[in-house]
Chains A and B, each alone.
Chain A
Amino acid sequence: MTTELTAKDFTSDQETRWCPGCGDYAVLAAVQKLMPELGVEPHRVVFVSGIGCSGRFAYYMDTYGMHGIHGRAPALATGLAAARDDLSIWVVTGDGDALSIGGNHLIHALRRNVPLKILMFNNQVYGLTKGQASPTSERGMVTKSTPFGAQDAPFNPLALAIGAGATFAARTVDRDRHHMTDVLRAAAHHEGSAFVEIYQNCPVFNDGAFFALTEKDRAVFNRIPLAHGEPIRFGPDGEHGVARNERGELEIVGGERDDLVVHDAHRDDPTLAFALAGLAQSPNEPTPIGVFRSVKRPVGVAEAGAKLAAARANLQPGALAELLHGSDTWTVA
């Protein structure tokens, strides 16, 4: 490449149409800004999205893009990855799209470790259909479809992803460009499926759902930053930490203790990542953010695809005729 790419090279000419103040704008800006440094030309990048507010994301990237159908983006993207191993494929989805109607596709993409970067915008509500409870809505949340409060327990998206065998699972927040960019960069460089949950504010239907983790005065008390190889400690002066109790469960303790859990994202065993995912029951309490898990496992779908492409490229001229003939023929004169 002769000229250096900028965020502008990844910005399409379409007018962005999310509501004013929507967290999606921040994610879009962060992705557009990150892209040039990844060194992949825009025409080798594909964004596949589902239905929901997040689904519009694909239209705003000046790359190849497919705005699919509700919940099916991981399936569409898996097919694309099966046909092509030379693309950087990103899936943009939401909590309803990924965890409700598309739950099956999500877990199987993660199980197969398809080389997809899956960005799940979690705003705990259906925005595009104007405010129904979603599978991540907290118990008791009053919405149009739950006027007496949501009755069902919410999904824990990271626990779900890790349980499905995700080789990369991370969480970030829309209102911290720096943190979000670091997490997205790590996801981009991961070789298999990368699942990133982004806490994203919906100013219209669920405003402030994550303010405990994003607003300056509160974030410092509630964010539990995960850094590989570091003891897990948080609070303005590191006065809190995470340690194992006598039953082996994680709990929040004083930051001065010398038996704090040291974060290890590269452990093959997923139990620490899983325990960290379960540490917070709600984003209104101390909540881990960062890369929970990042391990190596054979990459699904695409590698086999490359082998088959090679098989086709090396096909001998008579191969088709030979196949059509099979092993037992007779001739009628």
Chain B
Amino acid sequence: MIVRFAGDSGDGMQLAGSRFTEATAEHGNDFATLPSFPAEIRAPAGTLAGVSAFQIHFAAQDILTPGDEPDVLVAMNPAALRSELPALARSGTVIANEDAFSKRNLQKAGYESNPLEDSSLDNYHLIRIPMTSLTASAVEALEGVSTRDAGRAKNLFALGVVTWLYDRPTQPTEDWLRRKFVNKPGPLEANLAAFRAGWNFGETSELIDVQYKVDPATDVPAGTYRNVNGTTATALGLIAASIRADLPLVLASYPITPASELLHELARHQDMGVRTIQAEDEIAAAGMALGAAFGGALGVTATSGPGMDLKTETIGLAMMLELPLVVIDVQRAGPSTGMPTKTEQSDLLMAIHGRHGESPVPVVAASTPGQCFEAAYEAARIAIHYRTPVILLSDLFLANSSEPWRIPDAAELPPIEPNFAEATDEPFEPYARDARGARPWAIPGTPGLAHRIGGLEKEDVSGDISYDGDNHALMTSLRAAKVAAISAELPLLEVDEDPGAELLILGWGSSRGAIRAAARRVRANARSVAIAHLHHLQPLPANMGEVLERYERVLVPEMNTGQLAQLLRAEFLVPVESYCKLEGKPLFAAELEREIEARL
């Protein structure tokens, strides 16, 4: 990852950059740096010529050069943005000091309109922070700190933000400040306060920037590509599904990190007929989505772990009403509030089992940022065709990472047919079932189909309230059978075979990229390993058991304590092995390579 700090030469950008480098080094990352000083020693403040930049590159391993394109640009003023933006990678992150984007500074930099407000930065991840004023507020109450000290401390604020965002340790910077300003208590206090304020701002506002971006490659299928992150791909998948199904899209959500981004993304698309509601709470959000579905819309609610707890009751109702509902869980590290800005895959068992009563619902999991499109589309398709709530599991890492995505042909997306019920001469039977086991979706406003549904147990076919024991047993099995039968139309689990492989690495969710990279490395060493990746967790693909039996050993890497492994052992009585990671970080190829090698 490459971070470029840019500002006026007087802004102390070199200082911020070099501190970050040292913090990075202490963090055990390889790094390389590339400073860029302004050509003129004293170029006028705020002008392009006065921009000073400092770039560093760090990663877990294998860094040989400072990198060409920065992934992150910290722009302290408009001139810095204008001068450095062309170098920024596609879909890179811009952290802008919005205080500096005054009319005068914009003019000096040659901007006609404010790039933070027009849509010119749409292709970047823009984080706007009023750094000058926040720094001033952090510093103003300190004794013995001059206005000049305060004004110069904003670079440390920026450094604090970046230190938070990329998980660098704070101690080295604080120690270094103490050494540098050993006899200057004013500047020391100002810089410390600004640095801490920046770090705290990142934490309190739950800033996230997952910097795992895949560069465009050439050995990929032909087609037109764009960069997407998981959030955008999910939003596009939902919009595409709603248009293909010819249903209005209603997303109801309550703000929560990191799922709020999806609300923001979809809220922008009113012109596509997308309706977003910011609900009063997570429960209401699920209820509104379900109410919209009752009215014939594609109802969607999105949240993260704690919100899932609250939606559970409504998911149970949707399951009982047998209405389409898409529930998106952008997983983060739990339990409880846990680590809202860190990734995890620990909601799998909750998605599958986390409701009272016998309440099976389909569970779909996205595997890469771009694949979120397909996963969201698939979740909507299953929900609509089978009249069932579907849980789509994404995670913080997927939502915030980006990759080149081959844009699908809109006309060739699989059909989604809501197939609303229409009146016939026969009396309407709300719980009669079609070949898929799905009941009719009869929306209010349809003459002749007025009916009542609810959470109480239904009599088979008629849908009347029933407390009959035999009927309850029958309905329980019909609801389970409907979900189980989905596997009949799902693709079989595809195994990326390797001749002679006795070990299968079976993944799900966001570990797909890391597993593939690890397998490539192992195979490059002339060793054999097979890999497969699950996108449907409930029901599992029809050949799941057969695939498991084909291999001597099966390793399931997960960012949890082994939830998929548990499911597979319970269902197939096979000795699946787990590799578990619970550090709030995605799985990396290097560690998986090590785990695979240890088993060969």
Contact = CB atoms under 8 A, between A and B. Distances in A.
Given A43-B449, A75-B287, A320 B240 contact: yes
Interface string B235-255: 010011001000010101000
Interface string A36-73: 00000111101011000001001101111111110010
Interface stretch (B6-14, B274-282, B545-553, B584-592): B274-282
Contact of B292 (A59, A79, A304): A79
Interface stretch (B57-65, B193-201, B294-302, B515-523): B294-302
B220 A332 contact: yes
A301 B226 contact: no
B438 interface: no
A86 B294 CA distance: 14
B250 A59 contact: no
B365 interface: no
B226 to A, nearest CB: 5
Interface string A75-109: 11111111110110000000000000000110110
Interface string A290-333: 00000000000100110111011101000111011111111111
A14 interface: yes
A107 B317 CA distance: 23
Contacts of B274: 308
A75 B283 contact: yes
A326 B421 CA distance: 36
A72 B407 contact: no
Contacts of B299: 79, 83
Most chain B CB inside 10 Å of its own CB: which residue of A61, A66, A108: A66
B224 A79 contact: no
A14 B459 CA distance: 13
Contacts of B272: 311-312, 315, 319-320, 323
A330 B216 contact: yes
Interface string B436-471: 000000001111111111111000000011000000
Contacts of B294: 66, 76, 79-80
A151 interface: no
A332 B444 contact: no
A320 B454 contact: no
A67 B292 contact: no
B404 to A, nearest CB: 8
Contacts of B449: 43
Contacts of A81: 291
Most chain A CB inside 10 Å of its own CB: which residue of B223, B248, B447: B248
Given A58-B454, A68-B287, A84-B296, A329 B224 contact: yes
Contacts of B348: none
B315 to A, nearest CB: 11
A81 B252 CA distance: 13
A146 interface: no
Nearest to B423: A43
A273 to B, nearest CB: 23
A165 B451 CA distance: 33
B410 A64 contact: no
Given A75-B287, A84-B445, A66 B279 contact: no
A84 B295 contact: yes
B533 interface: no
Given A59-B465, A67-B454, A67-B456, A308 B226 contact: no
Nearest to B120: A327
B290 A76 contact: yes
B324 to A, nearest CB: 12
B227 A308 contact: no
A82 B225 contact: no
B242 to A, nearest CB: 8
B288 interface: yes
Nearest to B291: A79
A58 B446 CA distance: 18
A87 B445 contact: yes
Contacts of A86: 445
A12 interface: yes
Contact of B289 (A62, A77, A79, A305): A79
Nearest to A13: B464
B408 interface: yes
- Chain B, interface size category, equals 35 or more
Contacts of A301: 277
A68 B273 CA distance: 27
B270 interface: yes
Given A82-B292, A304-B275, A72 B270 contact: no
B240 A324 contact: yes
B250 A67 contact: no
Contacts of B295: 79-80, 83-84, 87
Interface in A19-48: 41-44, 46, 48
Nearest to A301: B277
Given A59-B454, A84-B445, A75 B279 contact: yes
B284 interface: yes
Contacts of B293: 79, 83
Most chain B CB inside 10 Å of its own CB: which residue of A84, A307, A315, A333: A84
Interface in B288-323: 288-297, 299, 313-314, 316-317, 321
Given A12-B452, A78-B288, A83 B277 contact: no
Given A42-B450, A315-B243, A78 B444 contact: no
A75 B239 contact: no
Given A66-B294, A329-B224, A324 B236 contact: yes
Contacts of B281: 104
B184 interface: no
B252 to A, nearest CB: 6
A105 B216 contact: no
B452 to A, nearest CB: 4
Given A79-B295, A321-B410, A108 B277 contact: no
Contacts of A67: 452-456
B499 to A, nearest CB: 29
B229 to A, nearest CB: 12
A77 B294 CA distance: 10
Nearest to B219: A332
Given A44-B445, A309-B248, 12 more contacts: A12-B452, A42-B450, A43-B446, A75-B283, A76-B288, A79-B277, A80-B292, A80-B294, A82-B252, A82-B297, A83-B291, A108-B280
Interface of B: 90, 122-123, 216, 218, 220-228, 236, 239-240, 243, 248, 250, 252, 269-275, 277, 279-281, 283-284, 286-297, 299, 313-314, 316-317, 321, 407-411, 444-456, 464-465
Interface of A: 12, 14, 41-44, 46, 48-49, 55, 58-59, 61-69, 72, 75-84, 86-87, 104-105, 107-108, 301, 304-305, 307-309, 311-313, 315, 319-321, 323-333
12 contacts: A43-B449, A67-B454, A67-B456, A69-B316, A72-B287, A80-B295, A105-B280, A107-B280, A315-B273, A330-B225, A332-B223, A332-B225
